[in-house]
Amino acid sequence: MTERRTALVTGGGSGIGRAISRRLAADGFAVAVLDLDHDSAKRVTEEIAADGHEASAFGGVDVSDRAALSAAVDGVRERFGPILVLVNNAGLSGFRPFLKISEAAWDKIIAVNLSAPFYLTQAVLPDMIAAKWGRIVNISSSSAQGGQQYMTHYVSSKAGLIGMTKSLALEFGPDGITANTIPPGFIDTPMMRDSERRGLLGGSVEDNAQRIPVRRPGTPEDIAAATSFLCRDEAGYITGQIIGVNGGRVT
């Protein structure tokens, strides 16, 4: 990277988003850490600053609110300039029998996991088109590749994100913009540990890890490493791809 570029990471205040924010900052990007939790976003930017890199927190932003997202994008541009890397990471999980998924629960998960990436991508694409360079990385889910019982609303939203990624790649490749998706599989995050505490995993995280070919859960840093590569100049010939980071759990 020959000059500083700006990256926006949603859900950047914890888990996978935190790891991606820190990794992209270490790679030389100015990172806008966007999160619903202002304190979490602020802590991550402080960690990045302590490492000698540049970041700014944009907390209290509900990604399902298009007006709030537009205001945040304007704030990022004012702080750092054009946004040339977008990581749509913010997500909402759900675990409910199909016949008990309410319309409100369906709408909320679609709003956060699919509509928000649509809103944000529309908002930042003009910057990328003008620069003739851009990187879009959508964090989907391995459950969208194989399905998952009791999570139809979540799986549907993440499968839609995969389809959106492929369509973006085809449309904007001529503009120097790549779009790829990473579907994480069994990553040790606070959300995963919460599922463990609620008895939703059919055992402990460690028990489940023994059924994965590499015999360990993934880490947020595993996802951050793949994201880092996809955001480099060297990855300019990779677009429209599903880059599974799952220890061989899904092949």
| Catalytic residue set | 154
Alpha helices, DSSP H, located in 57-151: 66-80, 103-110, 116-131, 143-146
Cα dist from 87 to 108, 109, 235, whole Å? 20, 18, 15
How many Cα atoms occupy the beta-carbon half-sphere of 248 within 13 Å? 8
Q: Is 227 helix (H, G, I), strand (E, B) or coil?
A: helix
Place of tokens 């907390």: 59
Q: Beta partners for 182?
A: 139
Structure tokens at 184: 């994480």
For residues 104, 152, 10 and 117, what is the CA-based torsion angle, rounded to 10 degrees?
-80
Over 133-182, what HEC string results? CEEEEEECCCHHHHCCCCCHHHHHHHHHHHHHHHHHHHHHHHHCEEEEEE
